[in-house]
Amino acid sequence: MVCKNCGANVGKEYRLCPYCMSELEYPENKAEQQPIIIQNIINNQPNVATSAPPTVSNHQLCSPKDKSMALILCVVLGMLGAHCFYAGKAGMGILYLFTGGLFGIGWIVDIIRIAAGSYTDSHGLPIK
Ligand SMILES: [Zn+2]
């Protein structure tokens, strides 16, 4: 290895020239750096996945009301708004009581919505 600064012939084990203390340039060092960079990118990928924000559990965003209970009430007494009262929506229940489940349309829609798990209680939480 020849020092570029002072021209002294030094051994390969030196990183700095022992005569002028300037940094020795080994061309093979640059080639070795590339695989290390690629390895770092591969190693960083699992970290990126785990650092993603944790998904909020659907369990915490569900109504405490029982879905099968709401479905039975809706099928049997849905025309009278029983499932609305069960879900805590008294106003809707009274409306269903006087209109026969919105003339049967609201009743059918609610059966589908309860079965699909998209029917919500008075707090807007889905009954699942
Ligand atoms: Zn030198």
Residue 92 belongs to some domain of the structure: yes
Give the pLDDT of residue 61.
83
Ligand 1 geometric centre to CA of 24 (Å): 8
Ligand 1 geometric centre to CA of 26 (Å): 14
Residue 67 shares a structural domain with residue 102: yes
Q: Rounded to an integer, what distance in angstroms lies between the CA atom of residue 2 and that of residue 24?
A: 8
Q: Rounded to an integer, what distance in angstroms lies between the CA atom of residue 48 and that of residue 39?
A: 15
Handedness of CA 7, 9, 10, 15 (dihedral sign): positive
Residue 22 shares a structural domain with residue 45: yes
Residue 125 belongs to some domain of the structure: no
Ligand 1 geometric centre to CA of 67 (Å): 82
Residue 36 belongs to some domain of the structure: yes
Q: Rounded to an integer, what distance in angstroms lies between the CA atom of residue 88 and that of residue 84?
A: 6
Residue 44 belongs to some domain of the structure: yes
Provide the residue range defining the domain that includes 85: 62-116
Give me the DSSP letters along 86-112. HTT-HHHHHHHHHHHHHHTHHHHHHHH
Give the pLDDT of residue 27.
73
Spell out which residues have Cβ within 5 A of ligand 1, the ion: 3, 5-6, 8, 17, 19-20
Residue 45 shares a structural domain with residue 71: no
Residue 58 pLDDT class (50, 70, 90 cuts): very low
Domain count along the chain: 2
CA distances from 56 to 62, 63, 79 (A): 12, 15, 36
Look at residue 105 and tell me whether its pLDDT is greater than 70. yes
Residue 38 pLDDT class (50, 70, 90 cuts): low
Residue 42 shares a structural domain with residue 17: yes
Residue 94 pLDDT class (50, 70, 90 cuts): very high
Lookup: tokens for 33 = 């750096």
